[in-house]
Chain A
Amino acid sequence: DAGVTQSPTHLIKTRGQQVTLRCSPKSGHDTVSWYQQALGQGPQFIFQYYEEEERQRGNFPDRFSGHQFPNYSSELNVNALLLGDSALYLCASSRDRAYEQYFGPGTRLTVT
């Protein structure tokens, strides 16, 4: 049984560009959450998707947007990249209303 998968593993972008990160949830999971982990910090909650809708959002600007597809996979889009957006982006999946979130290995985004 494959766990949570994320692509790409690493990504380098230039300030002002746009980026799309992808996540496939663990089999049987219908809820996807995204987190940003800056170097030396704990993960910060960006938003959560359930039934193709954004159900909850953390304190992130509108430059961060997402999408969930009918197969429960998800994308995180970041527009107008800033140097401060450089971080490890983690995707976590769960069954609805379940307490345990399963994390993927993350996508390392570097903005230059």
Chain B
Amino acid sequence: AQSVTQLDSQVPVFEEAPVELRCNYSSSVSVYLFWYVQYPNQGLQLLLKYLSGSTLVKGINGFEAEFNKSQTSFHLRKPSVHISDTAEYFCAVSDRSGGGADGLTFGKGTHLIIQP
């Protein structure tokens, strides 16, 4: 079984400032890691994923995340946020043994609030 902890329920940031959204996971097996974004009244959109290889992963909209196996973390970062980045962000994992077909386990989400 896996679990995902998003350490901050809400993160306020000034526009053009950098941001980091924290994610830690627990699993007895190897996992794939994902970050999704959810804008108000919409479904989820994939920002980026870590499958293997380089631990620094780049995604859409200028976001990147770093996988740290020893700390079981997958923190999301952006060097300069824009007002349009205001949304709910979810970290998720899936079991590698499913070959990418498994259902996702999500964290509770972090609400990113961009202040002008």
Contacts and interface: CB of A to CB of B under 8 A. Distances in A.
Interface of A: 4, 31, 33, 35, 40-45, 47-48, 50, 55-56, 58, 90, 92, 94, 96-106
Nearest to B51: A99
A42 B100 contact: no
**3 nearest A-B pairs in the assembled complex, by CB-CB distance:** A45-B103, A42-B106, A103-B43
Nearest to A34: B103
Pick from B46, B102, B104 the residue with the most CB of A within 10 Å: B104
Contact of A45 (B46, B90, B104, B107): B104
Contacts, number: 68
Interface in B96-116: 98-109
A96 B46 CA distance: 17
Contacts of B94: 99
Contacts of B104: 33, 35, 43, 45, 101
Nearest to A6: B43
B32 interface: yes
